[in-house]
Chains A and B, each alone.
Chain A
Amino acid sequence: MLTISSVLYEKIVAHARADHPDEACGVIAGPAGSDRPERFIPMLNAERSPTFYRFDSLEQLRVWREMDDRDEEPVVIYHSHTATEAYPSRTDVSYASEPGAHYVLVSTREPDRTEFRSFRIVDGEVSEEEVRITGDDAPGEDHAATE
């Protein structure tokens, strides 16, 4: 299960909407081993494409080093699909190389309704997981993921 604050959830959705119709991508870092997404890091899509994304390699090096220095890891790796459902494509699966990460997929194919789903991708196997969004204004009170 992915547990994420409504603030971070909204940041991912806003980034996906802002870059539409190109795919948006980024990371939410958290303390190593905590499974807590905390620090929002939107990344450039070096491909600037509606059907493909790739982190800019030098930006990735900088961000990964920074996480290392802060004893963080990529808890969430997100990207958007802009014309198809929020489900990992074959390309997504072939590149997935962080078995500990939550792979979040957002679909912006409909202007007024955003799909937000989370997956584990381990050894080429995709498994969807529940998304639990926690409200910062009402501790302990949960909101169902909006689809």
Chain B
Amino acid sequence: MTIEVRIPTILRTYTGGAKSVEGKGDTLAELLGDLDSRHQGLRDRLVDEAGLRRFVNVYLNDEDVRFLGGLETPVTDGDTVTVLPAVAGGSR
């Protein structure tokens, strides 16, 4: 059971420069836990106590996981998870 996880430039310090890594799990939370066992610190950049950090977007295939089940979103063999930094800001 492997799921491809695509990593943005800014987080590749956690993956030894790799653009994508592989992991396993039944949910996004389990997948991130599995990744963190080999890429320590990566999970903390993506989640905090409240769930997914607002600074990142996480996609399962073509969908934003915020519109699916968040960290409880089921994942399965062959899925692709993409992480992108949210692009946002404002005058305040």
A interface residue numbers (CB < 8 A to B):
23, 25, 43, 47, 49-55, 57-58, 60-61, 64, 77, 79, 81-84, 88-89, 91-92, 94-100
Known: A57-B64, A61-B62, A97-B10. A92 touches B90 (CB 8 A): yes
Known: A61-B57, A61-B62. A95 touches B86 (CB 8 A): yes
A55 near B89: Cβ-Cβ < 8 Å: no
Out of B57, B66, B85, B91, name the residue touching A23 (CB < 8 Å): B91
The chain B residue sitting closest to A77, CB to CB, is B87
Known: A55-B86, A100-B9. A60 touches B91 (CB 8 A): no
CB < 8 Å A-B pair total: 81
Task: List 29 contacting pairs A-B, 8 Å CB cutoff, sorted by A.
Answer: A23-B91, A43-B87, A49-B90, A51-B92, A52-B88, A52-B91, A53-B88, A53-B89, A57-B59, A57-B64, A57-B86, A58-B63, A58-B64, A60-B86, A60-B87, A61-B57, A61-B59, A61-B62, A61-B82, A61-B84, A64-B84, A83-B91, A88-B89, A89-B90, A89-B92, A91-B92, A94-B55, A97-B8, A97-B55
